[in-house]
Amino acid sequence: MIKTIIDKLLGKAPAAPRSRKPRFGKREEVPVQVHGIDPQLVDRRAVDVVQTLKSAGYEAYIVGGAVRDLLLGLRPKDFDVATNATPEQVKSLFRRAFIIGKRFRIVHVVYGRGRENEVIEVSTFRAFLDNSQAEAVSGNERTSKAQLASMKHAVDASGRVLRDNVWGPQDQDATRRDFTINAMYYDPETQIVVDYHNGIADAQKRVLRMIGDPATRYREDPVRIIRAVRFAAKLSGKGFKLEPKSAKPLVECEPLLADVPQSRLFDEMLKLLQTGHALASVAQLKALGLSRGIYPLLDVVMERAGHPFVQAALTDTDRRVGEGKPVAPSFLLACVLWQDVKTGWEKKLAQRMHPFPALQEAIDEVFDARIGDVSGRGKLAADMREIWVMQPRFDKRTGATPFSMVAQPRFRAGFDFMRLRADIGEVDESLASWWQEFQQADDGRREDLIAQARDEQRARQRAQQQSEPKVHRVARSRAGREGVTPLQSPQEAEDGSLLDQAAAATHDGTMSDGGTPKKRRRRRRKPGGGGAQADSSSSVS
């Protein structure tokens, strides 16, 4: 700087500036002969969106993770499109298109209906803006809505981007993306990949590298910390590793996640655990020093990841995703929190509470302590509750209970839960096998299975009676005359009846307003003979 001033005073011409690498990267158009993407792996609906936009005179490309997966020879599950058309212009070109989001406004173009429904997400090229060019907003996204209302680009005091709806050219759009392998654009018509940050080279080297200064990028959006873990886990099987420079700031930037809305963190946690790489995600979190602090419920998963039941649930989730089967967050979280429910239930039973109210109270306490206030908690809690309440009912295999059980909408989830319990030895394997056969059998075979279960129960009762001292047999015989099953005390019989009635009431709507099962009126028998008189006299004595 001093030299420049002296040169100006002496009238010398300034030296020619040194050639610099373009700030937003150099555009490279890579042909199909180099990148080798198979067009057959590209979703026809994504191609239709690109062609429609290009026909209207706009630029349009498949972008992001879909291009990364295509380069690796994988069939992407989701396709995103980037264009220079604004959200309003995109919406006008499609019959079923919806503008969503405030933080980042994007368009969802919908194809098909029902289960065949497919959404192509279309975003507009965005400008890359430094924090110095943005308007700072105090607080976080939830408490700053009034201040954000008139802004297109804003950051909070920590540097986190709260709103980014400033459109710009493609090279700036590429720079504002996170990893180099996620910042490539593919044109399915010309089959050219546009690459600004050596994404193809990094993909070949199996390197996950953040664009720009990693610490700054994590401050802009702390959720990138979780995304870094997720991508490292997803691509670890392909030999990818997080670049050391990109991994170094993760731990020091982790506290920034405290300002991210809980609902968003909850969704990101589910992506970690339900995209087919749950076990790999747990391993990456440990390796990167992020075992605690991201999200309270994720801390519980990390603490219990080595427990046989939770490990079995994570393994089963990865397997189902790999086989293209659906997975539900309620099932996985029910497995993770079963230990809490079981412990709370046992404590309340020890306090002589009736089983069903004790189970419901234990479940409520777990929800309050672990789930918190997240979007969709009502549906999530209802599904988890049904899975847990079903577990004691699997022990009853006589009467009408098995038929009512298999007719319940959540039976399969409850059975799969019990099946995992059997796999780790918490439930007898024969019980799981019986229910496996029962649900697949016809009515005749089901009646045979119930008779078989009844015979097994009677055989166990006889064996136990024979092994008991005479005084116990007399007591049980008396209990039998009083209407209690031979293997139960009067208290146990009452508890078991209440549990079964109340658990069934969660499905047939016979619960009272207080949440306890309605009592059934007993019909009193009129005394009509010696037997009745004898019973009456014995009860009086």
> Annotated catalytic sites, by residue?
78, 80, 178
Residues forming a β-bridge with 496: none
Going from the C-alpha of 282 to that of each of 50, 210, 240, 289, 448, the distances in angstroms are 37, 21, 16, 11, 45
CA 358/CA 65 separation, integer angstroms: 47
* Rounded Cα gap, residues 92 and 111, in angstroms: 15
Long-range Cβ contact pairs of 148-154 (< 8 A, separation 24 or more): 148/102, 153/127, 153/129
For tokens 């099987």, what's the residue?
237
Cα(537)–Cα(541) distance, rounded to whole angstroms?
Answer: 6
Q: What is the chain's percent helix, strand, coil content, to nearest 5?
A: 55, 10, 35
Is residue 461 within 8 Å of 487, Cβ to Cβ?
Answer: yes
Helix axis angle for 355-366 and 329-350, nearest 10°, is 130
The Cα 92–Cα 367 span in angstroms is: 44
Instruction: Using alpha carbons, select from 260, 458, 418, 226 the residue that is nearest to residue 335.
Output: 418
Structure tokens at 101: 């989001």
CA distance 51 to 43: 13
Q: Tell me the C-alpha distance between 457 and 57, whole Å.
A: 76
Q: Which phi and psi angles does 516 have, rounded to 5°? A: -110, 155
| DSSP 8-state assignment for residue 181 | G
Q: Are 113 and 161 in contact (CB under 8 A)?
A: no
Kindly write down the DSSP assignment for every residue of 28-96, as one continuous string. EEE-HHHH---GGGS-HHHHHHHHHHHHTT--EEEETHHHHHHHTT---S--EEEESS-HHHHHHH-SS
Tokens coding 498: 């209440």
The number of beta carbons lying within 10 Å of the beta carbon of residue 209 is 20
> Parallel, antiparallel, or unpaired: how do β-strands 80-83 and 118-124 relate?
parallel
